[in-house]
Structure 1
Amino acid sequence: MTPMDMLLTRASTDLLAEPAPSEAQLSEILAAAMRAPDHGKLRPWRYVVFRGEARPALAERVIASMLRLDANAPEFKIEKRRKRFSTMPLVLGLGMHLLPNHKIPLWEQEIAVGAAAMNVLNALHATGFGGIWVSGDITEDPVLAEEIGFPAPHRLAGFLFIGTPEGDLPAPKRPDPADFTASWTGKPVTFAADRS
């Protein structure tokens, strides 16, 4: 597979089985994250690894967060999250170590975390593993973030579920890049993707 083939065939999946990357493999995968664009070399990404019995313990923290945010959260949603967080081969917490008063704006720090997470997803695919980035309302819960290790002003960007894809990765239909690209000629551009 060429590097471009690798990039063009990557797809997110939560159909994951054992094995998850070993500690040595995960270290190499996370080394790819360190290559993300990072204005000011702040390295605002942080990773928390949940393996084995740490997964169901995390699941219970996630459920408590859901109920803090919505005391009437539907039981099916609670059980879905409990199962997913408890049984994924490996869960990686994505943290944002933010410096609000730094000359590098917060939005740039947050984008660097996203770029590093994308590098992790690409590295997973390149090494035969798979993953999916999950977020949702719980990422806005400062209590959960602090319980994991990200007290304010730091934040939780979500979680990566990681493992070995079960079967072939789906080949989702991707949009044409031309719909999201325009050449500037001195006047504001418009994009085909924005036309109804």
Structure 2
Amino acid sequence: MPDPAALLALDARRSVPSRQLGEPGPDPATLQRMLASAVRVPDHGKRVPFRFLKIAGDARHTLGDFLAKRSRQRDPHAGEAVFEKDRQRFSHAPLVIVVVASPRPDPKVPEQEQLMTAGCVCFALLQAAQALGFGAQWLTAWMAFDPVVQAHLGLVEGERIAGFIHIGTAKADVPERERPDPATLLQDWTPPA
């Protein structure tokens, strides 16, 4: 049975820049509701190749201090503005959920499929946050790929950060942006001669 409301919710999805997210964030029950929706993703073999880390309260600032220090180690000449930007990255939204991709060796489920499952979780979490009245943004940046940061966050060998999902209350409406025309992206496949 068609569900126009579900399509409208997908069509209304917008990323709210993390700098425009503030209090209040979701309470524990609301966060659990978001996560319950976020885990309903395609998952070949039911591998559940993902997990979550919650960064909230003072932990956001502690992580920011660590990132500023790590940024300075990576490039001591980057400048104070860069170090301060890294220090503030997690200080805007009241909640950041780290979606950790945890692929497991499986001859029937390639790693790429498991990584895509973790990516689907990121998207579903954005949708769930918006459905519950919050703004959200999926970010990565250098720290998602830095092994020192990954270790600091407790990732184990083989795990990766699929995304930092910043969640809070939008301080302002986010304007629509231009989207690709799907008609220009679709083509008929024909077998080679």
TM-score in terms of structure 1 length: 0.88
Where 1:85 maps in the other structure, the secondary structure is coil
Amino acid at match of 1:128: G
CA distance in 2, matches of 1:4, 1:74: 45
1:19 aligns with 2:24: yes
CA distance in 2, matches of 1:69, 1:137: 10
Query: What do the CA deviations read for 1:149-181 (whole angstroms, capped 9, x no partner)?
Result: 212111222311110111222211111111111
Residue of structure 2 equivalent to 1:106 = 111
CA distance in 2, matches of 1:30, 1:76: 35
Residue of structure 1 equivalent to 2:53 = 48
Residue of structure 2 equivalent to 1:193 = none
* Contact 2:22–2:92, Cα closer than 8 Å, also in 1: no
Aligned length: 187
Residue of structure 1 equivalent to 2:187 = 182
RMSD: 1.8
Q: Which moved more, 1:84-93 or 1:24-33?
A: 84-93
CA distance in 1, matches of 2:33, 2:80: 38
Where 2:162 maps in the other structure, the secondary structure is strand
Q: 2:176 aligns with which of 159, 171, 175?
A: 171
* Contact 1:45–1:95, Cα closer than 8 Å, also in 2: yes
Query: What do the CA deviations read for 1:79-105 (whole angstroms, capped 9, x no partner)?
Result: 122223123211111211122x32221
CA distance in 2, matches of 1:20, 1:45: 23
Amino acid at match of 2:130: H
Residue of structure 2 equivalent to 1:96 = 101
Residue of structure 1 equivalent to 2:35 = 30
Residue of structure 1 equivalent to 2:142 = 137
CA distance in 2, matches of 1:67, 1:151: 24
Amino acid at match of 1:139: A
Cα deviation, residue 8, structure 1: 0.6
1:116 aligns with 2:121: yes
Residue of structure 1 equivalent to 2:12 = 9
Percent of pairs with identical residues = 36
Residue of structure 2 equivalent to 1:62 = 67
* Contact 2:122–2:163, Cα closer than 8 Å, also in 1: no
Cα deviation, residue 185, structure 1: 2.8
TM-score in terms of structure 2 length: 0.89
Amino acid at match of 1:186: P
Cα deviation, residue 187, structure 1: 4.5
Cα deviation, residue 51, structure 1: 1.1
Where 1:94 maps in the other structure, the secondary structure is strand
* Contact 2:52–2:97, Cα closer than 8 Å, also in 1: yes
CA distance in 1, matches of 2:103, 2:77: 32
Cα deviation, residue 107, structure 1: 1.0
CA distance in 2, matches of 1:12, 1:187: 41
